[in-house]
Chain A
Amino acid sequence: MIPLLKRARHLLFVLLIALFLSGFIVFLSGGSPRLFFLLLYTGSMGDKEVFLSTLIKATPLILTGLSVAIALQGGLFNIGAEGQLYLGGLASAIVGGLAPLPPPIHLPLVLLSSFAAGALLGFLAGWLRARRGAHEVITTIMLNYIVIYLTGYLVRGPLSAGEAIPKTREIASSASLPIIAEAGSSQLSFGFIIAIVIVFLAYLYLFKTPFGYEVRAMGRNRRAAQRAGIDVGRRMISLMALAGGLSGLAGGIEVAGLHHTFYSQFSPGYGYDGIAVALLGGNHPLFVPFSALFFGALRTADRTLQLEGGIPRDIVLIVQALVIIVVCARNWRFFAKLIRRRKGNEIASSN
């Protein structure tokens, strides 16, 4: 395992390079890179309202990021986080809409139902992979479409609240997550704390339990894991179910903590962004929240960029893409060398 400090340095480095390149792109398109960086900062953490908004957006990203990361630790590619999030969101909206129950029962039930719904989808993909050999990339992508359109139909038809917007009825107040901080229009729910706790649980699972050990073994050398007597098929199924559950919970927290209802086109791509979050976090649970925070900040800053800087909000998509490219182009050492050399030159010329 790479030491944590080294990983942290790597993460920071990747971010700096990606930001630098994005600044360059802003410059090329005629904007001011200085303004861009300034607005990126003020737009995501300049005041309490936007900072809370960043945390709100980071919450589902932490969970979908973890979902993708733990699956990848086991050598499985969970592209299905988006669909799992939708189904989790729908399940919690249904359970949350039941007649008011005592909050200590109702709320956990809502969150559990979202986890279970996501886990069901993950289980299905895992089962298809382990027992039928259908690749999880294909099945999870297909399941995404099925779930997104199915839930879209349901909120227009059988589960519709009967309003113009296709959505479910509001959930009962006993099913809502308490708000822990608010400023202006931003209300951060207890869901953020849950996500952070789950980060540590995921870390313990992967690195401190025999299950996690087996998952990591399977992800690094499936044949050797099998020869060591690990039931690889069963591990795959349970891992995908767990990954699906985490994404489902992301949907549940969105409903119980933020929207209080489930509507069609519910997620702005939190599931897919989870892939980027995991990638930037090096598939390590402890780095996922930082990476999620970064992407959450980008998503929050895009409005300010557009309104105050006249920089098209699509620039954040470019930054996101650049981050992914820089992470994937493992050869970031090249950049490091470049910088070191330049530093060397500076020192030499200043002498």
Chain B
Amino acid sequence: MGKVLELRRITKKYASVIANNEVSIEVEAGEIRAIIGENGAGKTTLAEIIYGLRRPDSGEIVINGKGRNHLTPKEAISLGIGLIRQERMLIPGMSVLENIVLGAEPVKRGGEIDWRDAKKRVKELLPLLGFSLDLAKPISSLTPGEKQLVELIKLLFRGASLLILDEPTSHLTPNEVSSFLSLIKRLKEEGKTVLFISHRLPEVLAVASRITVMRRGKVVGTISREEADEENLSHMMMGESFLPPLEKEEVTPGKVVLKLSGVTVTAEDGRLLLDNISLTLREGEIVGIASVAGNGERELALSIAGFLKPKAGEIEIGNRQANFLPPEEIKRLGVAFIPGERDEEGLILDFTLAENLILGYHRLPPYYRFPLLSIRKASQQLLDLSSRLGIVPLDLSLPLNLFSGGNRERVIIARELFHDPCLIIAENPTQGLDIAGARLVRNLLLAEQKRGAGILLISPEVEELIALSDRIVVLRRGRIVSELKAREATPKLLGRLMTGGGG
């Protein structure tokens, strides 16, 4: 089979950072090619260059035998290239069908959108995916997995034959991941070519036919699926650096830092979001919250952090009644909050790295000396902090939107963990991180535990919950349905408790 895509010595720099350094890759028609690498290895930049969102500084892109310096998205689409970006590109208020056709609406002669034709064509695509979906539903009512499917159908509707998927599984639950992977395989059988960009090795090994490894903007090598296993791949990804072991130690719990009794939270329409939650968390203790996304874990985090006010019940932090305290005062009690929606809630992308590292702590010394903010004087400290978390590029004055997704997550972690909190609410703290990054963050959480912080860990990854927590609380429909020691938990058992499945 012929080559559909060939990249020749692509180089792209942002300010002082080289995102892609002479990258050359050849992709055969009909293969699933994985591109893997740690956070900031330059995978996303490469995807954006292929799709025409960014212009390479030098190099050549050859598509179906025709070479060029760069593409525009319009050209890319007409050449049959489709991209699913890490961030969602759907409009929540519009229906599934409207989102699918957006930008490529079939038009009747009078200039009116031909909805009937649109519907017919979308319906023809659905069986291909082995999937049914109510096209009239608004996007906001879909599960993360369904949203990802809509993104995929969107590409197929535009006739894409080369699909670039940038970290497509990062928003999905484990169940959704496995069905998404089998879908990708089906697409390959349909003759599509897939560029699967990821840092999750098991997923890559499950679908890819060949695997290209990138490190610090360069291609380290390409190997076939048969030659690859997790060990040699992670070695290629990380180079000489080694993975430190997880340092979970027995810590004797101290005083109570968080006590919830009978906390009930309702939505504006009266729906119960949290139903009579009682929970205690002590110093030096990690309590994991296991739930299928949307079962109250978010509301639990938000009400402890003060953003949601409970209708009934009491929240005590330290020994202070915190029900009615505004968020800024709860923060002052030493509560660190790592929010789940990184870019929307945790960061200000137009701010520099330094400005983001002090967000929320900007009124504390050494960043603030009355009456002025003095980021510059604290810069050595901020640099140390960033390098301890391996944030690249290590440049405090760079705006955060030039950093990769995994590095942005590290910025939030760095900020929230290094101001000596007594209570940490961590919502999915390792999302988007590579193996080494995730291990680092987990060890940091464990170090905080040893220091005496109480940690409430909310994570969709049950393995992570089991590995880090002392106790695990299972939430279903806003209720605590079970509480168990982490030692006694297995992924299977938790899965059953979370979904309420019998047996």
Listed in ascending order, the chain A residues whose CB lies under 8 Å from chain B are 1, 204, 208-210, 212-214, 216-217, 220-221, 223-231
Considering only CB atoms, which chain B residue lies closest to A207 in the complex? B373
Asked whether A224 and B359 contact (CB < 8 A) given A208-B372, A209-B372, A231-B328, the answer is yes
Q: A217 vs B354: C-alpha distance in the bound complex, in angstroms?
A: 13
B351 touches A230 (CB 8 A): no
Q: A213 vs B374: C-alpha distance in the bound complex, in angstroms?
A: 11
Q: A209 vs B375: C-alpha distance in the bound complex, in angstroms?
A: 10
B373 touches A224 (CB 8 A): no
Nearest CB of B to A7, in Å: 15
B351 touches A217 (CB 8 A): yes
Q: A271 vs B344: C-alpha distance in the bound complex, in angstroms?
A: 34
B362 touches A210 (CB 8 A): yes
What are 22 A-to-B residue pairs whose CB atoms are below 8 Å? Answer: A208-B373, A209-B371, A209-B373, A212-B373, A213-B362, A220-B348, A220-B349, A220-B351, A221-B348, A223-B344, A223-B345, A224-B348, A226-B327, A227-B305, A227-B307, A227-B327, A227-B339, A227-B345, A228-B360, A229-B328, A231-B326, A231-B328
Is B346 part of the contact surface with A, judged by Cβ < 8 Å?
yes
Nearest CB of A to B396, in Å: 12
A-side contacts of B359, CB under 8 Å: 217, 224-225, 228
B-side contacts of A216, CB under 8 Å: 351
Q: A1 vs B356: C-alpha distance in the bound complex, in angstroms?
A: 13
Q: A217 vs B355: C-alpha distance in the bound complex, in angstroms?
A: 9
Asked whether A210 and B368 contact (CB < 8 A) given A220-B348, A223-B344, the answer is yes
Is B331 part of the contact surface with A, judged by Cβ < 8 Å?
yes
Partner of B344, one of A224, A228, A231: A224
Nearest CB of B to A225, in Å: 7
A225 touches B348 (CB 8 A): yes
A224 touches B345 (CB 8 A): yes
Is B403 part of the contact surface with A, judged by Cβ < 8 Å?
no
A224 touches B347 (CB 8 A): yes
Q: A69 vs B20: C-alpha distance in the bound complex, in angstroms?
A: 38
Is B196 part of the contact surface with A, judged by Cβ < 8 Å?
no
B373 touches A217 (CB 8 A): no
Question: Which B residues between 404 and 432 are near A, CB-CB below 8 angstroms?
Answer: none
14 new A-B contacts, CB < 8 A, other than A227-B307, A229-B327, A229-B360, are: A208-B372, A210-B368, A212-B373, A213-B373, A214-B362, A220-B348, A220-B349, A224-B347, A224-B348, A226-B327, A228-B359, A229-B328, A229-B331, A231-B328
B344 touches A213 (CB 8 A): no
B-side contacts of A208, CB under 8 Å: 372-373
Pick the most buried of B330, B331, B344, B373: most chain A CB atoms within 10 A of its CB.
B373
The 9 A-B pairs at the shortest CB distance, nearest first, are namely A228-B360, A229-B328, A229-B331, A221-B348, A220-B350, A227-B345, A228-B359, A220-B348, A208-B372
A-side contacts of B373, CB under 8 Å: 208-210, 212-213
Pick the most buried of A221, A223, A224, A230: most chain B CB atoms within 10 A of its CB.
A224
A227 touches B346 (CB 8 A): yes
A-side contacts of B339, CB under 8 Å: 227
Listed in ascending order, the chain B residues whose CB lies under 8 Å from chain A are 305, 307, 326-328, 330-332, 337, 339, 344-352, 355, 359-360, 362-363, 368, 371-373, 399
Considering only CB atoms, which chain B residue lies closest to A221 in the complex? B348
- Looking at chain A's contact residues, the main secondary structure is helix
Q: A230 vs B307: C-alpha distance in the bound complex, in angstroms?
A: 12
Q: A1 vs B351: C-alpha distance in the bound complex, in angstroms?
A: 7
Q: A212 vs B371: C-alpha distance in the bound complex, in angstroms?
A: 11
A217 touches B348 (CB 8 A): yes
Considering only CB atoms, which chain B residue lies closest to A204 in the complex? B372
B-side contacts of A228, CB under 8 Å: 331, 359-360
A227 touches B337 (CB 8 A): yes
A-side contacts of B368, CB under 8 Å: 210
A-side contacts of B360, CB under 8 Å: 227-230
Nearest CB of B to A153, in Å: 42
Q: A106 vs B328: C-alpha distance in the bound complex, in angstroms?
A: 41
B-side contacts of A225, CB under 8 Å: 348, 359
A-side contacts of B345, CB under 8 Å: 223-224, 227
A-side contacts of B326, CB under 8 Å: 231
Considering only CB atoms, which chain B residue lies closest to A1 in the complex? B352
Nearest CB of A to B385, in Å: 17
Q: A231 vs B327: C-alpha distance in the bound complex, in angstroms?
A: 8
Nearest CB of A to B298, in Å: 13
Nearest CB of A to B356, in Å: 9
A-side contacts of B355, CB under 8 Å: 213, 217
B-side contacts of A213, CB under 8 Å: 355, 362, 373
B371 touches A224 (CB 8 A): no
A210 touches B363 (CB 8 A): yes
Q: A188 vs B475: C-alpha distance in the bound complex, in angstroms?
A: 71
A-side contacts of B332, CB under 8 Å: 229
Q: A185 vs B330: C-alpha distance in the bound complex, in angstroms?
A: 61
Nearest CB of B to A17, in Å: 24
A-side contacts of B347, CB under 8 Å: 221, 224
Nearest CB of B to A164, in Å: 51
B-side contacts of A210, CB under 8 Å: 362-363, 368, 373
Nearest CB of A to B349, in Å: 7
Pick the most buried of A204, A213, A230: most chain B CB atoms within 10 A of its CB.
A213
Pick the most buried of A204, A208, A228: most chain B CB atoms within 10 A of its CB.
A228
Considering only CB atoms, which chain A residue lies closest to B347 in the complex? A224
Nearest CB of B to A129, in Å: 19
Considering only CB atoms, which chain A residue lies closest to B350 in the complex? A220
B362 touches A221 (CB 8 A): no
Considering only CB atoms, which chain A residue lies closest to B367 in the complex? A210
A-side contacts of B372, CB under 8 Å: 204, 208-209
A221 touches B344 (CB 8 A): yes
B-side contacts of A224, CB under 8 Å: 344-348, 359
Q: A317 vs B16: C-alpha distance in the bound complex, in angstroms?
A: 43
A-side contacts of B371, CB under 8 Å: 209
Q: A233 vs B348: C-alpha distance in the bound complex, in angstroms?
A: 18
Considering only CB atoms, which chain A residue lies closest to B352 in the complex? A1
Partner of A230, one of B305, B328, B330, B337: B328
A-side contacts of B331, CB under 8 Å: 228-229
Nearest CB of A to B304, in Å: 13
Nearest CB of B to A73, in Å: 11
Nearest CB of B to A229, in Å: 4
Q: A19 vs B147: C-alpha distance in the bound complex, in angstroms?
A: 49
B-side contacts of A227, CB under 8 Å: 305, 307, 327, 337, 339, 345-346, 360
B-side contacts of A229, CB under 8 Å: 327-328, 330-332, 360
Q: A30 vs B345: C-alpha distance in the bound complex, in angstroms?
A: 57
Q: A1 vs B401: C-alpha distance in the bound complex, in angstroms?
A: 12
Q: A145 vs B175: C-alpha distance in the bound complex, in angstroms?
A: 60
Q: A204 vs B374: C-alpha distance in the bound complex, in angstroms?
A: 12
Q: A223 vs B348: C-alpha distance in the bound complex, in angstroms?
A: 9
Q: A69 vs B415: C-alpha distance in the bound complex, in angstroms?
A: 30
Nearest CB of B to A260, in Å: 36
Considering only CB atoms, which chain A residue lies closest to B329 in the complex? A229
A-side contacts of B362, CB under 8 Å: 210, 213-214
A-side contacts of B328, CB under 8 Å: 229-231
Considering only CB atoms, which chain A residue lies closest to B302 in the complex? A227
B-side contacts of A230, CB under 8 Å: 328, 360
Nearest CB of A to B203, in Å: 30
Nearest CB of B to A20, in Å: 28
A-side contacts of B351, CB under 8 Å: 216-217, 220
Q: A135 vs B360: C-alpha distance in the bound complex, in angstroms?
A: 26
A-side contacts of B337, CB under 8 Å: 227
A-side contacts of B348, CB under 8 Å: 217, 220-221, 224-225
Nearest CB of B to A339, in Å: 19
